[in-house]
Amino acid sequence: MEVVPLGSAAEVAALAADTIEALVRSRPAAVLGLATGSTPVATYAELVARRRAGTAPSYDEVRAFLLDEYVGLPPGHPQSYRATIARELTDDLGLPPDRVHRPDPTDVPTAGAAYEAQLAEAGGVDLQVLGIGSDGHLAFNEPGSSLSSLTRLKTLTEETRRDNARFFNSLDEVPRHVLTQGLGTILRARHLLLIATGAGKAEAVAAAVEGPLSASCPASVLQLHPHASVLLDADAASRLARADHYREVYAGKPDWQGL
């Protein structure tokens, strides 16, 4: 795992955008795994700004797979993750809806296996963007999730529902159920790019990066992956015991190596 403590959230967004663009330049038919939530919004805005400025690579052959989706929202609800990613990123990158996939919340019993089949048919995810929940969740894999789980129905914790209530009119409106890629699904992506910003994530980041591998901190599953990058702003890195060492390693990296 490579941990990269940076100075600001803007630096995190810029490096994450650089990494995504570098992949798409080298592999025009790249398969991107996309997270929703607040954290990647700045990265997505950076990608869109670069496209508007005419400096972005072509996304004509890129496909995208969402990490997760709410179950039970009315069709077209603006807070569905399908609507959110279209609004924040994929529409502006020119990805049509048929190249942006999600687990299908209208057919919950078959959605998990169907999504795994779609991912396999696409050849798997090249680069998976990840956020982290304040309780250490990854996608919607709450504490206690099997470290080898696949896409399936899950029940949200009260903490996550409260965290996400800001996107809805009230806590009651936040769905209780979701479909999410499993931790085993996420581990199949070839490169994991976890981004975290703000002091509210510091404890979860420290547990994921320096704590024990444990289903009690689902994001600790990154410790099993051969190519995981963790981009942090100063606040999110503030509880790491080895932050100075990570900074020294990153500062000494040769340019050609990338993330």
Binding site for ligand GLP (CB under 6 A): 35-39, 67-68, 131-133, 139-140, 160, 164
- Asked if 88 is an active-site residue, the reply is no
| Closer to ligand GLP by Cβ: residue 57 or 141 | 141
| Closer to ligand GLP by Cβ: residue 51 or 137 | 137
State the catalytic residue, choosing from 135, 191, 225, 233.
135
Closest CA to 39 of 154, 148, 164, 156: 164
Q: How far is the CB of 112 from ligand GLP (least distance, A)?
A: 16
Q: How far is the CB of 253 from ligand GLP (least distance, A)?
A: 26
- Asked if 142 is an active-site residue, the reply is yes
| Closer to ligand GLP by Cβ: residue 56 or 138 | 138
Residue type, 93: L
How far is it, in rounded angstroms, from Cα 238 to Cα 199? 7
CB distance 108 to 179 below 8 Å? yes
State the catalytic residue, choosing from 21, 69, 126, 142.
142
Q: How far is the CB of 164 from ligand GLP (least distance, A)?
A: 5
DSSP helix/strand/coil, 177:
strand
CB distance 133 to 154 below 8 Å? no
H/E element, 71: strand 68-71
Task: For the beta carbon of residue 11, count every other beta carbon within 10 angstroms.
Answer: 17
Q: How far is the CB of 156 from ligand GLP (least distance, A)?
A: 8
| Closer to ligand GLP by Cβ: residue 48 or 194 | 194
Residues 6+ apart with CB under 8 A from 179: 68, 69, 71, 102, 103, 104, 105, 108, 111, 112, 115, 140, 151, 152, 153, 154
- Asked if 158 is an active-site residue, the reply is no
- Asked if 104 is an active-site residue, the reply is no
Catalytic residues: 68, 135, 137, 142
